[in-house]
Amino acid sequence: MAALTELTVSEAVRVLSEGGTTSTSLLEALLQRIDQHDGAIHAYVSIDREDAMRQAEAADARRKRGESAPLLGVPIAVKDLFNVKGQPCTCGSRMLEGYIAPFDATVITRLREAGAVIVGRLNMDEFAMGSSTENSAWGPSRNPWNTDCVPGGSSGGNAAAVAADIAFASLGTDTGGSVRQPASFCGCVGLKPTYGRISRYGVVAYASSLDQVGPVTKDVRDTALLMNVMSGLDLRDSTSLNVPTPDFTTALGRDLRGLRLGLPSEYFGAGLDPEVERAVRAATDVCRSLGAEIVSVSLPQTKFAIPTYYVIATAEASANLARFDGIRYGARVKADSPLELYEQTRARGFGSEVKRRIILGTYVLSSGYYDAYYLRAQKVRRWIRAGFDDAFRSCDALLTPTAPTPAFRFGEKSADPLQMYLSDIFTATVNLAGGCALSVPCGFSATGMPIGMQVIGPALAEETLLRVGHAYEQATDWHLRRPQLKASV
Ligand code: GLN
Does the annotation mark 366 as catalytic?
Answer: no
Does the annotation mark 178 as catalytic?
Answer: yes
Catalytic residue selected from 131, 132, 141, 154: 154
pLDDT at position 266 is 97
Ligand 1, residue 153: give the atom nearest the CA: 1
Catalytic residue selected from 10, 23, 93, 178: 178
Cα(242)–Cα(194) distance, rounded to whole angstroms?
A: 12
Q: How confident is the model at residue 486 (pLDDT cuts 50, 70, 90)?
A: confident
Backbone angles phi, psi at 69, to 5 degrees: -160, 155
**Of 113, 131, 124, 114, nearest to 81 (Cα)?**
124
Q: Provide the mean pLDDT of the chain.
A: 97
pTM above 0.85, yes or no: yes
For 20-92, where are the E strands, in sequence order? 44-46, 75-79
pLDDT at position 221 is 98
Q: How confident is the model at residue 108 (pLDDT cuts 50, 70, 90)?
A: very high
pLDDT > 70: percent of the chain: 99
pLDDT at position 236 is 98
What are the structural domains of the chain?
A: 2-300+386-480 (3.90.1300.10), 303-379 (no CATH)
Ligand 1 centroid vs 173 CA: distance in angstroms?
9
Ligand 1 centroid vs 68 CA: distance in angstroms?
37
Structural contact between residues 162 and 217, judged by C-beta atoms closer than 8 angstroms? yes
pLDDT at position 2 is 64
Structural contact between residues 200 and 239, judged by C-beta atoms closer than 8 angstroms? yes
The predicted model gives 430-445 an average pLDDT of 98
Catalytic residue selected from 10, 23, 79, 414: 79
Does the annotation mark 240 as catalytic?
Answer: no
Q: How confident is the model at residue 437 (pLDDT cuts 50, 70, 90)?
A: very high
Q: Is the pLDDT of residue 157 over 80?
A: yes
Q: 129, 310, 419: which to mutate for ligand 1, most atoms within 8 A of CB?
A: 129
pLDDT at position 50 is 98
Q: Is the pLDDT of residue 1 over 70?
A: no
Q: Is the pLDDT of residue 489 over 70?
A: no
Cα(429)–Cα(423) distance, rounded to whole angstroms?
A: 12
pLDDT at position 331 is 84
Ligand 1 centroid vs 155 CA: distance in angstroms?
9
The predicted model gives 168-174 an average pLDDT of 98
Q: Which residues contact 425 (CB under 8 A, 6 or more apart)?
A: 271, 302, 305, 306, 404
Point out the least confidently predicted range of 55-59, 305-309, 325-329.
Answer: 325-329
Structural contact between residues 218 and 450, judged by C-beta atoms closer than 8 angstroms? no
The predicted model gives 109-135 an average pLDDT of 98
Point out the least confidently predicted range of 184-193, 225-234, 323-332, 472-481.
Answer: 323-332
Cα(366)–Cα(360) distance, rounded to whole angstroms?
A: 10
The predicted model gives 63-81 an average pLDDT of 97
Report residues whose beta carbon is within 6 angstroms of any ligand 1 atom.
128-131, 154, 174-178, 206, 313, 424
Taking only the tens place, the pLDDT of each residue in 315-362 is 999 999 999 999 999 889 999 999 999 999 999 999 999 999 999 999
Q: How many CB atoms lie within 10 A of CB 125?
A: 32
Ligand 1 centroid vs 229 CA: distance in angstroms?
25
pLDDT at position 234 is 98
